[in-house]
Amino acid sequence: MKTLQRLFIAFLIVGAFWQCQGTKEEVEDSKLPILGNWHVNEIEIEGNVLRDTVYHEIADFEFTNQMGQKVSKADVSGKIYVADFFFTTCPTICPIMKKEMLRVYETYKDNPNFLILSHTIDPTHDTQEVLKSYAEKLGVEDASTWNFLTGDAEKIYEIGQTSYLTTAMEDQNEPGGFLHSGAFVLVDGEGHIRGVYDGTKSDQVDRLIRDIPKLLKP
């Protein structure tokens, strides 16, 4: 557990550094920065130098939700969503995370422009049928808002660590055999990370709930 806490604290520190990288215009415009690495491309056309800022973006993906439906990056394009990583037999922080995510779900479940993507990091056990039962026990009857996703383990670990910039991996030294952070990652309609929140702390989830409308279209 100490390892998990250290990883999450380190992630929050790095996230705070990235947050400072957003331009003044971006922060004033949306009140939420764009997190992650970024760079500027320069193109010269007829003697004029054009600059285009390229921000970190969630990579392409395709997983299967609790209803047996394929969910890809194209399906969430233009929508605001919160992503997290868990597993159904988690003996530590997952029950707390799901209790907190339920608050997010209840607040925005009727908004067609909002989604939740919860990725299992134990796809061998967490089949579509297992995830469906798990979702129903939480009171989530369909996947119109909250998708519990399973798929190839390596692809889940890769997108967790390289796209969502969080911890998601198998580790037999950890309780339950897996290591993941409690991060709730807020993503905008263009696939950019706009906020990271500790899903085990109610005050941080309160802040997430307040931040979501800043990205939702009127």
Phi-psi region of 86 (alpha: psi -120 to 50; beta: other; left: phi over 0): beta
Query: What pLDDT, on a 0 to 100 scale, did the predictor assign at position 184?
Result: 98
CATH fold of 2-215 reads Glutaredoxin (3.40.30)
Q: What is the pLDDT of residue 37?
A: 84
Both tokens assigned to 12: 């929050």
Per-residue pLDDT at 10 exceeds 70: no
**CA–CA dist 54, 41 (Å, integer):** 7
Q: What is the pLDDT of residue 180?
A: 86
Q: How far apart are the first and last CA of the chain?
A: 41
DSSP per-residue string spanning 95-145: HHHHHHHHHHHHHHTT-TTEEEEEEES-TTT--HHHHHHHHHHHT--SSSS
What's the pLDDT band for 169 if we cut at 50, 70, 90? confident
Q: From the CB of residue 175, how many other CB atoms can be counted at a distance below 10 Å?
A: 13
| pLDDT tier for residue 39 given thresholds of 50, 70 and 90 | low
Q: What is the pLDDT of residues 47-96, one digit of tens each?
A: 676 776 778 899 999 999 999 999 999 999 999 999 999 999 999 999 99
Q: Which token pair is 70?
A: 């394929």
Mean pLDDT over residues 153-180, rounded?
90
Domain residue ranges of the chain, discontinuous segments joined by +: 2-215
pLDDT digit string, tens, across residues 105-153: 999 999 999 999 999 999 999 999 999 999 999 999 899 999 999 999 9
In 3-state terms, what secondary structure has residue 80? strand
77 or 2: whose pLDDT is higher? Answer: 77
- Give CA–CA dist 163/210, Å, rounded: 24
What is the distance between the alpha carbons of residues 105 and 176, in angstroms, rounded to a whole number? Answer: 26
pTM: 0.82
Question: Which of 149 and 20 is assigned the larger pLDDT?
Answer: 149
pLDDT higher than threshold 50 for residue 17? no
pLDDT band at 186 (very low <50, low <70, confident <90, very high): very high
pLDDT at 22 exceeding the cut of 80:
no
With residue 73 as reference, give the H or E element that holds it: helix 73-76
Mean pLDDT rounded to a whole number for the chain: 86
